Amino acid sequence: MKQNTLKLNTGASIPQLGFGTWQINPSSRAEKATLAAFEAGYRHVDTARVYLNEKGVGHAIKNSTLPREDIFLTTKLWRGEKNVAKALDKSLKRLDQDYVDLYLMHWPQDDRIEAWKVMEQLHKDGTAKAIGVSNFTVRHLTELMEQTDIVPAINQVEFHPFLYQKELLEFCNKHGIIVEAYSPLAHGSKLADPTIVEVATHYDKSPAQIMIRWAVEHDMVVIPKSKNPERIAQNLDVLDFKIDKNDMALLDNLNEDLRTCWDPTNAA
């Protein structure tokens, strides 16, 4: 299956659809699910220190027959880690990798400016081919860009029709930061919403496929997650149709500021 890619501000390409692995535990299960994702055609996998499954994702990469350069791998710095360089080194050891394609600061942590400066160095050293952030608001991004040199390549945030963060998306677009949508299915909580079901029926697609396609139409990277091989494959199968303007407007109107994960609005 041919994958859509987007261009990062480093010049590298990122597959628009990635496989999310949050809550896929333990590592043996993450390995199985990631292998199913590679089998289905995903070439982009997203993990994090705090997901406690980097080992499993690393095993899947080693045990797949795919060349490493065909896979886009992301992991994240957890906020409790004081030594940022060591934290990446430990992640690389667990992943059994020499580099990641993307290293994200998982949260706007208190010492984020100092931590970002170390991440800039890791990028220059080549162990993090690109660097970005997660759960950053416009305020956090503005502050970071004022005080540091490298503009984040990615801001990974919760994003779906029920949390349509239009202002954040426009801000990121303006600064060449790609928004990456996590929990694009609102954690599975909105798949029976009448508007989602109506639009899904219109295109003969599943509600999950409509929510994922909505994010694709907004030019975001999207990382749905599933433990089930059929749903893993289904979530990637969203490139053979387009949602028309009227239906996009219907979906855009579903916003209710619903957060199913964390709310970083008041993170100091």
Cβ closest to ligand A2P, residue 46 vs residue 247: 46
Cβ nearer to ligand A2P, comparing 40 with 88: 40
Regarding 191 and contact with ligand A2P (CB under 6 A), the answer is yes
Which has the closest alpha carbon to 212: 27, 73, 42?
42
Question: How many residues touch ligand A2P (CB under 6 A)?
Answer: 18
- φ, ψ for residue 67 (rounded to 5)? -65, 140
Is residue 134 within the footprint of ligand A2P (CB under 6 A)?
no
What token pair was written down for 13? 């390409």
Report d(CA 153, CA 184) in Å as an integer: 20
Q: Report, in Å, the least distance between residue 191 CB and ligand A2P.
A: 6
- Identified binder of ligand A2P from the candidate list 132, 152, 161, 224, rule CB under 6 A: 224
Q: Least distance in Å: CB of 26 to ligand A2P?
A: 15
Q: Which of 51, 103, 164, 182 is catalytic?
A: 51
20 binds ligand A2P (CB under 6 A): yes
30 is an interface residue for ligand A2P by CB under 6 A: no
- What are the percentages of helix, strand and coil residues in the chain, rounded to 5? 45, 15, 40
The residue within the footprint of ligand A2P, chosen from 187, 205, 213, 218 (CB under 6 A), is: 187
- 195 vs 239: CA distance, rounded Å: 21
Q: What are the helix (H) ranges across the chain?
A: 27-40, 54-63, 84-95, 112-125, 138-147, 166-174, 194-203, 207-217, 229-236, 245-252
State the catalytic residues.
Answer: 51
